[in-house]
């Protein structure tokens, strides 16, 4: 069965910027003509715990914006991985940050992709762009949206702080390259 | 023949329902006269409280709100912020303003709302039958303090004027009394000044009237005037308690 | 746009330039947004000292003929009960947004539909009902915010926009009306504007004469009946054919139900979804008609079963009704609802399900 909606959960610590990654993804998909929703978990969960956001991308209509079992998980750190990896739908995709997820408990029925997001971000110019690396890996591996659309979303997001655009784009592109060649892929 | 007395134009010609010796009627009239003198009747929106004076609604010839118990300063805030050209006043008793509505009055004053508040302090809950008010004086017998207000359990009378004057926000705050003709004439000046501060867009203005409630105090009108003078004045000193710096416009509202 | 911001911007586009409110999660983006925008537009934003005060500030604002809004979340709405009753009694048009959270008491700040009963039964003392609109998407939150101002003005009544934490926090694409700032309130014939060249007016909910108050209450009731005739809105999704199971749900949970209903239908199950958009007045007749050709009903809510009573009233005992609820901040998943749909269908007498 074709899935009418792709459900993506992006998770990390508050401050990792996963909510922003999710927003850029939703923005890019919207610009490409899809229906999207972006639903952050808010409240006590946000303080000191995992900050996560559900992004749904659909051709015509997003049904439930609330995602319990995503098709795709992007996990920045171990707590996020541990909490959400078991919930990913069978045949799903898990993108995780090997720098902060030292002992991933792999799922036999999912594809896993890993990257050392902080390292790649440092190479791209700023450790804080690790969230863009993760987004890049996701897009590189799935081609859910086009690079142009993501870069346009980055440019509009950072319009007021234009000096941050190049490093974020560089980090994103580095992520895409990782995603494309599927390095670290540990498919079961 | 010279006309020496007439109804204020802003006062609707009908007999007051207030008890004999109650000063609400006199205070209504002072406000009406000043409204006439300032020529603002058609710009005025008044807000009546819950309490005996709820019927000021029916006595003033201007647009009037009826507000919930204690909330008149919030209603006034809404009206004045949306229509700064209107002249907005509230008229509230001591149960209304100094008990259930303390939060609303403190914060309206603190925001410096350009409204005028007339606060009628008769040291008792009039409408509900003479229960203790926050402004009842120590030892005062009421229907809920049969042995007199006990400061150990009920505290002391609340001095709203002094409390509001303690705020940093500039304001005009004065306390007047209705116990003698001389004081009533002084009160009229204060009412006028209070409106003028609003008209100049200068500051929040607040007039506390020491007032009587012969019925619930269980006294004749004359006895109540003496009681006010003797028992209330020591707790509630008269005069201008706070005046705004002359040049203060707070940088807000025309 | 984020739901809360979309509601705030929609209010401006509806012509609302005055807002009074007190902070509470999960609706704080509404006052935050408006505190920035309204002064730019020549309106005002006032942070009140409490929701009690807020409810009376909007009474003052509407009474002088201003299009006005406030927003809060469940505990704050309870504090507004007093003002809401006065607003209803004095027939003042205001829009009150409730981005519901989980209760009772302080409860939690996560999304819930905990205030259905409070919202649809008048919300406060006295004898009255209000219009309450329940959006299921950010776009609908925008559309219903604008509708809320129209209905408030047309019928001179407070209107409640009953959202929840998901609607408030979620971001979705929205189309806003073109007018950047809508028209002001038309209130020439009743607002307190200073009695220049006319008789003084009153804005009051006080009727000490019992005959007058009796007449006033029946007038309000007749108006609500008129609103029910003209303004009741609902969505009947996949309800054209006779149904083995009708799912009833409102707001965000109905949106989730829709995914579950789609999944069920793709398995060939005869399942439809009924979603009231005006949870008050409740689309009783429309629901009754659809229940009339359904075998069974499954009511799904983010509470312990509040709309259920209206569904029961519509069903009048004609078919069994199951209930599936999640509350406390839990959100039912489409998968969970699908399971319930299967469980409900399994209850049908043989031959009912393929
Ligand atoms: C919420 C609420 N609580 C209580 C009352 C009952 N009530 C009506 S008037 C009043 C006291 C009024 O006293 P005060 O403000 O001193 O005015 P006065 O009647 O003395 O002029 C009370 C408690 C009410 N109307 N509403």
The answer to whether the CB of A175 falls within 8 A of the CB of A137 is yes
**Contact: B60, C205; criterion CB under 8 Å:** no
Q: Which residues contact C291 (CB under 8 A, 6 or more apart)?
A: C246, C297, C311, C314, C315, C318, C319
Q: What is the dihedral of CA C240, C242, C245, C247, to 10 degrees?
A: 20
Tokens at residue C216, please? 């006033």
Q: B252 pLDDT band (50/70/90 cuts)? A: very low
pLDDT for A6 equals 96
Percentage of residues of chain B with pLDDT beyond 70: 96
Which three-class secondary structure state does DSSP give residue B90?
strand
C349 secondary structure, DSSP code: P
Residues in chain C within 8 Å Cβ distance of A7: none
Closest to C264 in 3D by CA, of C352, C349, C335, C348? C335
What are the sequence ranges of the domains in chain C?
Answer: 3-231, 235-345
| Low-confidence residues of chain C: pLDDT under 50 | 352-354
Q: Which residues contact C208 (CB under 8 A, 6 or more apart)?
A: none
Question: For residues B166 and B170, what is the distance between their CA atoms, to the nearest angstrom?
Answer: 10
Q: What is the pLDDT of residues B93-120, one digit of tens each?
A: 999 999 999 999 999 999 999 999 999 9
Domains of chain B in start order, with CATH, are: 24-242 (3.40.50.970)
Q: Helix and strand tally (H, E) in chain C?
A: 13, 14
Q: Residue B254 half-sphere exposure, CB side, CA atoms within 13 Å? A: 5
What is the end-to-end Cα distance of chain A in Å, rounded? 22
Return the partners of chain A (3 or more C-beta pairs < 8 Å).
C
Tokens at residue C145, please? 């915010």
Q: Which residues contact A113 (CB under 8 A, 6 or more apart)?
A: A93, A94, A95, A96, A137, A141, A178, A179, A182, A183, A184, A185
Q: CATH 3.40.50.920: does it fit domain C235-345?
A: yes
- Closest C-alpha residue for ligand 1 atom 5: B69
Q: Which residues contact B55 (CB under 8 A, 6 or more apart)?
A: B17, B48
More confident call, A14 vs B240: B240
Matching residue, tokens 């807020």: C54
Count of A–C CB contacts within 8 Å?
A: 65
Residues in chain C within 8 Å Cβ distance of A39: 166, 169-171
pLDDT for A3 equals 60
Question: For residues A78 and B138, what is the distance between their CA atoms, to the nearest angstrom?
Answer: 67
Q: What is the pLDDT of residues A103-141, one digit of tens each?
A: 999 999 999 999 999 999 999 999 999 999 999 999 999
Candidates B95, B135, B217: which one to mutate for ligand 1, based on the most atoms within 8 Å of Cβ?
B95
Q: Quick one: which atom of ligand 1 is closest to the CA of B121?
A: 16
pLDDT for B251 equals 41
pLDDT for A183 equals 57
The answer to whether the CB of B189 falls within 8 A of the CB of B158 is no
φ, ψ of residue C138 in degrees (nearest 5)? -65, -40
Q: What is the pLDDT of residues B185-202, one digit of tens each?
A: 999 999 999 999 999 999
**Closest CB from A39, A62, A68 relative to C333:** A68
Element containing residue C258 per DSSP (H, E)? helix C251-266
Q: Which of A5, A31, A65 to mutate to test the interface with C (most CBs of C within 10 A)?
A: A65
B229 secondary structure, DSSP code: I
Please give the mean pLDDT across all residues of chain B: 95
The architecture of the domain spanning C3-231 is: 3-Layer(aba) Sandwich (3.40)
Distance C252 CA to ligand 1 centre (A): 43
**Closest CB from B41, B42, B79 relative to C60:** B79
Span A60-67, mean pLDDT? 90
The answer to whether the CB of C105 falls within 8 A of the CB of C117 is no
- Separation in Å, CA of A135 to nearest CA in chain C: 18
Tokens at residue C289, please? 């008609």
Residues in chain B within 8 Å Cβ distance of C49: 103-104, 106-107
Q: Which residues contact C21 (CB under 8 A, 6 or more apart)?
A: C30, C31, C46, C47, C48, C54, C70, C71, C72
Distance C238 CA to ligand 1 centre (A): 56
pLDDT for A44 equals 57
Q: B1 pLDDT band (50/70/90 cuts)? A: confident
pLDDT for C351 equals 55
Residues 30-89 of C with CB under 8 A from A: none
Q: What is the residue-wise DSSP string for C213-249?
A: HHHHHHHHHHHHHHHHHHH--EEEES-SS-EEEEEE-
Question: For residues C133 and C146, what is the distance between their CA atoms, to the nearest angstrom?
Answer: 11
**Contact: C169, A69; criterion CB under 8 Å:** no
**Closest CB from B57, B82, B107 relative to C204:** B57
CA-based torsion, B13, B19, B20, B22: positive or negative: negative
Q: Quick one: which atom of ligand 1 is closest to the CA of B98?
A: 15
The answer to whether the CB of A79 falls within 8 A of the CB of A159 is no
Fold of A5-98+107-181: Pyruvate-ferredoxin Oxidoreductase; domain 3 (3.40.920)
Q: Is the pLDDT of residue A2 over 70?
A: no
Q: Is the pLDDT of residue A47 over 90?
A: no
What are the sequence ranges of the domains in chain A?
Answer: 5-98+107-181
Q: What is the dihedral of CA B53, B56, B59, B63, to 10 degrees?
A: 180
What is the end-to-end Cα distance of chain C in Å, rounded? 43
Q: Which residues of C243-259 are buried (b: 16+ CB within 10 A; e: fewer)?
A: bbbbbbbbbbbbbbbbb
Question: For residues A85 and A68, what is the distance between their CA atoms, to the nearest angstrom?
Answer: 11
Which three-class secondary structure state does DSSP give residue C295?
strand
Q: What is the pLDDT of residues C214-248, one digit of tens each?
A: 999 999 999 999 999 999 999 999 999 999 999 99
Which three-class secondary structure state does DSSP give residue A78?
helix
> In CATH terms, are C3-231 and C235-345 the same topology?
yes
Q: What is the pTM of this model?
A: 0.92
Question: For residues A105 and A85, what is the distance between their CA atoms, to the nearest angstrom?
Answer: 8
Closest to C54 in 3D by CA, of C75, C29, C33? C75
């Amino acid at each position: 069965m074709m899935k009418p909606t792709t459900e993506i959960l992006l998770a990390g610590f508050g401050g990792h910027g996963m909510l922003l990654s999710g927003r850029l993804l939703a923005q890019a998909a919207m610009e490409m003509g899809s229906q999207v929703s972006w639903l952050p978990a808010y409240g006590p969960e946000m303080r000191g715990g995992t900050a996560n956001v559900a992004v749904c991308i659909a051709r015509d209509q997003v049904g439930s914006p609330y995602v319990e079992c995503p098709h795709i998980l992007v996990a920045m750190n171990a707590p996020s991985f541990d909490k959400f990896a078991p919930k990913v739908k069978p045949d799903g995709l898990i993108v995780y940050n090997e720098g902060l997820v030292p002992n991933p408990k792999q799922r036999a029925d999912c594809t896993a992709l890993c990257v050392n997001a902080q390292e790649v971000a440092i190479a791209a110019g700023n450790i804080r762009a690790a969230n863009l690396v993760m987004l890049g890996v996701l897009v590189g591996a799935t081609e859910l949206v086009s690079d142009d659309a993501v870069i346009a979303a980055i440019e509009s997001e950072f319009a007021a702080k234009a000096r941050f655009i190049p490093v974020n784009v560089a980090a994103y592109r580095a992520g895409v390259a990782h995603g494309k060649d599927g390095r670290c892929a540990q498919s079961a | 023949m010279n006309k020496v007395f007439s109804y204020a134009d802003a006062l609707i010609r009908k007999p007051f329902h207030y008890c004999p010796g109650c000063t609400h009627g006199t205070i209504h009239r002072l406000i009406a006269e000043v409204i006439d003198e300032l020529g603002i009747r058609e710009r005025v929106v008044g807000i009546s409280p819950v309490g005996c004076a709820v019927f000021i609604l029916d006595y003033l010839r201007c647009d009037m709100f009826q507000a919930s118990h204690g909330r008149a300063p919030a209603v006034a805030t809404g009206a004045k912020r949306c229509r700064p050209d209107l002249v907005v006043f509230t008229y509230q008793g001591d149960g209304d303003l100094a008990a259930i509505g303390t939060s609303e009055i403190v914060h309206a004053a603190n925001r410096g709302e350009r409204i005028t508040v007339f606060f009628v302090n008769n040291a008792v809950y009039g409408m509900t039958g003479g229960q203790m008010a926050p402004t009842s004086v120590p030892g005062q017998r009421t229907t809920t303090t049969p042995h007199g207000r006990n400061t150990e359990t009920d505290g002391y009378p609340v001095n709203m004027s002094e409390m509001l004057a303690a705020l940093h926000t500039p304001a005009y705050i004065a306390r007047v009394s209705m116990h003698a003709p001389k004081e009533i004439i002084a009160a009229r000046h204060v009412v006028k000044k209070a409106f003028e501060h609003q008209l100049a867009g200068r500051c929040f203005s607040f007039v506390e009237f020491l007032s009587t409630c012969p019925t619930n105090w269980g006294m004749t009108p004359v006895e109540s005037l003496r009681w006010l003078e003797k028992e209330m004045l020591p707790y509630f000193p008269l005069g201008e308690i706070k005046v705004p710096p002359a040049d203060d416009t707070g940088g807000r509202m025309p | 746009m984020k739901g809360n911001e979309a509601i705030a911007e929609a209010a401006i586009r509806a012509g609302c330039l005055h807002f009074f409110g007190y902070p509470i999660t999960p609706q704080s983006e509404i006052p935050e947004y408006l505190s920035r925008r309204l002064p730019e537009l020549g309106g005002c934003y006032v942070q009140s000292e409490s929701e009690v005060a807020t409810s009376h500030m909007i009474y003052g604002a509407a009474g002088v003929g201003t299009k006005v809004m406030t927003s809060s979340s469940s505990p704050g709405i309870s504090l507004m009960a007093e003002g809401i009753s006065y607003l209803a009694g004095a027939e003042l048009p205001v829009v009150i947004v409730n981005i519901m959270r989980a209760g009772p008491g302080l409860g939690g700040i996560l999304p819930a539909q905990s205030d259905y009963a409070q919202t649809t039964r008048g919300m406060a003392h006295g004898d009255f009902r209000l219009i309450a609109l329940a959006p299921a998407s950010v776009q609908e939150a925008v559309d219903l915010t604008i509708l809320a101002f129209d209905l408030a003005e047309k019928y001179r009544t407070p209107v409640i926009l009953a959202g929840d934490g998901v609607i408030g926090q979620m971001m979705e694409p929205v189309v806003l009306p073109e007018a950047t700032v809508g028209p002001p309130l038309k209130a020439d014939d009743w607002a307190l504007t200073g009695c220049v060249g006319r008789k003084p007016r009153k804005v009051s909910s006080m009727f000490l004469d019992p005959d007058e108050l009796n007449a006033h209450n029946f007038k309000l009731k007749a108006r609500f009946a008129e609103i029910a005739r003209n303004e009741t809105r609902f969505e009947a999704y996949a309800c054209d054919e006779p149904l083995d199971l009708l799912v009833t749900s409102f707001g965000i949970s109905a949106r989730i139900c829709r995914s579950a209903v789609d999944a069920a239908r793709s398995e060939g199950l005869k399942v439809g979804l009924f979603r009231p958009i005006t949870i008050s007045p409740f689309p009783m007749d429309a629901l009754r008609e659809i229940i009339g050709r359904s075998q069974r009903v499954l009511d799904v809510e983010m509470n312990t079963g509040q709309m259920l009573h209206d569904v029961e009233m519509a069903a009048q005992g004609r078919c069994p009704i199951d209930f599936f609820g999640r509350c406390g901040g839990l959100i039912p998943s489409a998968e969970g609802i699908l399971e319930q749909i299967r469980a409900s269908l399994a209850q049908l007498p043989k031959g009912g399900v393929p």
